[in-house]
Chain A
């Protein structure tokens, strides 16, 4: 196995929300990302996945935890060293239009990181920009364009070109295909995988879409309310998911080729999850198994090894998908 490029240890971000209450956006999250692999973070809005991205880029200050890139703890860096570290760590945003300055041409957008971080002169920069545009599948003419003169897919390619301009080690891809058209989505995903091979990039791939995360990632962490609910390699997680939340996510995928195995509305509406439960398992109000169980109400299940699945799971009662479908069924029959 390749070396570990990024190590996130016990990362937490708590926000004060008044009345001495704290919103635990990210709580005690740890994971390792190996060089050259894609680490997928999947979860609903509010699960903390984008907060983790912001903490890694130091756009937000964590409440606790450590983030190592190689041997350097990013959180201890002073501004000058941080600038250097950011060369290795770049981000591609969700909305390609909003992420580009609409008053700047593609040339200016991509040349800015080159001006800040390299000593290339204007001619060399121009050559590098054309090379980068080629890498992301755009013609050189596009260098003169403004964002509004390009399609969503083209804008996203420019965003990717900007992100790889400095030969970073790692890209953070936060919902990078959610805003582009369906027919373009596959193009961008293919491009990202090609670039990973060509440039030996490491990805942190964040999305709410389980099928896309599966396609892109070697390892996947399922986030729920700021904590990892289940973690595993792509193969293990999809062959044998055991957390009820993972089952819920899988049942929610609108797949045109398969009938759904269970309905989602048979468990709680999920609206009560907004008032976060303070004790016990945070998923229990939506869970077909643990909603009435004493231990689920009182004890927060930590992330522990699940022997059968070779995964990590935070659940008192890990179940197979068929067991969970059965639990859902009996719940709906009893009118609950």
Chain B
């Protein structure tokens, strides 16, 4: 089966004023199938948001993009601008982190959803409005007929994010990209918005890329997970496999450093030492080696580990993993 989205050897470089290149995303490949929910997890600077923007083809100079992004078999980077605009309007939906700055403050939310609908297909204004109101009802906005005529500032943060979701699904996209959709929201609002998103995605059979720094949010929503670090995917797999048996030392460390309600309060937390990598000064070899408790001074420092398949839909980029025996763990420990 052909995947819905096929990202191959994607590289994103940022050109600096002095002509040097920062390697923000370094040769990543992944696929998303129809109806599948993929989580891209990483810290700030890991390249996860740039990956999302490059799928939407929203990155221009100083960003330099190589590789291919194919949606339903069509390479988006081979399309002209007009064709791409049509794909964006009809087949891709995106939800950004901050609903306040992604809604236009001087138009009512109804007008903004109607605009999105009319850009993707030829419908009358009245019909677009009816659909906009239905969508607002679907995302849980009460009294949608009146609320459609309200401006963004008349909605709370959680409600604004619901409006963003309504707008993103208004054109019946094939793929929905949600970039930290709940990071700006309260915990309880976050839980409600994620529940809503789950329901809508399920009902419509949408494929989703969820970008988040929060392993908890990702694991409750996604089918598969790709963990990013320093512009590379370091581990991928089904969510349960990754959470219960992480392979890459970074994934392990990340899972260990999650604060949960049953953590032993008498012990210090298992923290990841050091600092996240800085793009202008990426470490040699494995990007994680300066912070890795298992790193050795030879391979880890000198060679960039490739993402190796280790099982069904399972891969990790660490030279210390014993792939031959098929056993999970490190050959030298």
B331 at the interface (CB under 8 A from A): no
A147 to chain B, nearest CB (A): 14
Of the candidates B192, B261, B263, B278, the one whose C-beta lies within 8 Å of that of A264 is B192
Q: Given A187-B272, A215-B259, A252 and B219 touching (CB < 8 A)?
A: no
Interface: A186 (CB within 8 A): yes
Q: Contact between B195 and A209 (Cβ–Cβ < 8 Å)?
A: no
Q: Indicate the size class of the contact surface on chain B.
A: 35 or more
Most chain B CB atoms below 10 A, which of A248, A258, A271:
A271
Q: Which of A151, A210, A252, A256 has the most CB of B within 10 A?
A: A256
A214 to B215 Cα, complex, angstroms:
19
Cα distance, A234 to B272, chains bound together (Å): 26
Q: Distance (Å) between the CB of B166 and the closest chain A CB? A: 14
CA distance A321 to B10 in the complex (A): 47
Chain B 185-211 near chain A by CB (<8 Å), digits 1 or 0:
011111110111000000000000000
Q: Decide: B219 and A183 in contact? CB cutoff 8 A.
A: no
User: Would you give the shortest CB distance from A50 to chain B, in whole angstroms?
Assistant: 13
Per the CB 8 Å criterion, the residue count for chain A at the interface is 45
Least CB distance, A272 to chain B, in whole angstroms: 9
A189 touches B (CB below 8 Å): yes
Is B146 interfacial (CB 8 A cutoff)?
no
B271 touches A186 (CB 8 A): yes
Interface positions, chain A 238-258, Cβ under 8 Å from B, are 238, 248-258
Task: Please measure, in the bound complex, the distance between the C-alpha atom of A186 and the C-alpha atom of B216, giving whole angstroms.
Answer: 15
Q: Select one of B140, B189, B219, B270 contacting A186, CB under 8 A.
A: B270
A129 to B117, CA, bound (A): 59
The distance in angstroms between the C-alpha atoms of A194 and B269, with both chains bound, is: 11
Determine the distance from Cα of A264 to Cα of B196 in the docked complex, in whole angstroms. Answer: 10
Q: Which of A153, A193, A208, A269 has the most CB of B within 10 A?
A: A269
Tell whether, in the assembled complex, residue B44 and residue A181 are in contact, meaning their CB atoms are under 8 Å apart.
Answer: yes
Determine how close the nearest CB of chain B comes to the CB of A212; give it in whole angstroms.
5
| CA of A254 to CA of B182, assembled, Å | 11
For B129-142 the 0/1 string (1 means CB < 8 A from A) is 00000000000101
Which residues of the partner chain B approach A84 to less than 8 Å between Cβ atoms? none
Chain A residues with CB below 8 A from B272, complex form: 183-184, 186-187
Chain A binder among B59-67, B249-257, B318-326: B249-257
B contact residues around A260 at 8 Å (CB): 220
Q: For the complex, what is the distance from the CA of A209 to the CA of B261, rounded to whole Å?
A: 10
Q: Nearest Cβ distance between residue B204 and chain A, in whole angstroms?
A: 18
Asked if B187 and A210 sit within 8 Å, CB to CB, the answer is: yes
For the complex, is B223 an interface residue (Cβ under 8 Å from A)?
Answer: no
Asked whether, in the complex, the Cβ of A254 is within 8 Å of the Cβ of B158, the reply is no
Q: A10 near B: Cβ within 8 Å?
A: no
Known: A44-B186, A181-B44, A211-B259. A256 touches B215 (CB 8 A): yes
Q: A292 at interface (Cβ–Cβ under 8 A)?
A: no
**Contact, CB under 8 Å: A186 / B187:** no
Would you call B159 an interface residue if the criterion is a C-beta within 8 Å of the partner chain's C-beta atoms?
A: yes
Which of the listed residues A183, A211, A250 has the most CB atoms from chain B within 10 Å of its own CB?
Answer: A183
Is the Cβ of B189 less than 8 Å from the Cβ of A270? yes
What's the nearest-Cβ distance from chain B to residue A186, in Å?
A: 4
**CB of B13 to closest CB in A, whole Å:** 22
Given contacts A183-B254, A215-B269, contact A270 B188 (CB under 8 A): yes
Inter-chain contacts of A182 with B (CB < 8 A): 43, 213-215, 254, 257-258
Contact assessment for A209 and B192 in the assembled complex, using a CB-CB cutoff below 8 Å: no
Q: Is B295 an interface residue (CB 8 A)?
A: no
CA distance A21 to B209 in the complex (A): 45
Within 8 A of B (CB), among A187-214: 187, 189-190, 193-194, 208-212, 214
16 sample A-B contacts, Cβ–Cβ < 8 Å, listed by A number: A152-B44, A182-B215, A183-B276, A187-B273, A208-B186, A214-B261, A252-B187, A252-B190, A253-B260, A255-B216, A255-B260, A256-B215, A256-B258, A269-B142, A270-B158, A271-B158
Query: What is B's interface to A at a CB cutoff of 8 Å?
Result: 43-44, 140, 142, 156, 158-159, 186-192, 194-196, 213-220, 243, 253-255, 257-261, 263, 265, 268-273, 275-276, 278, 291
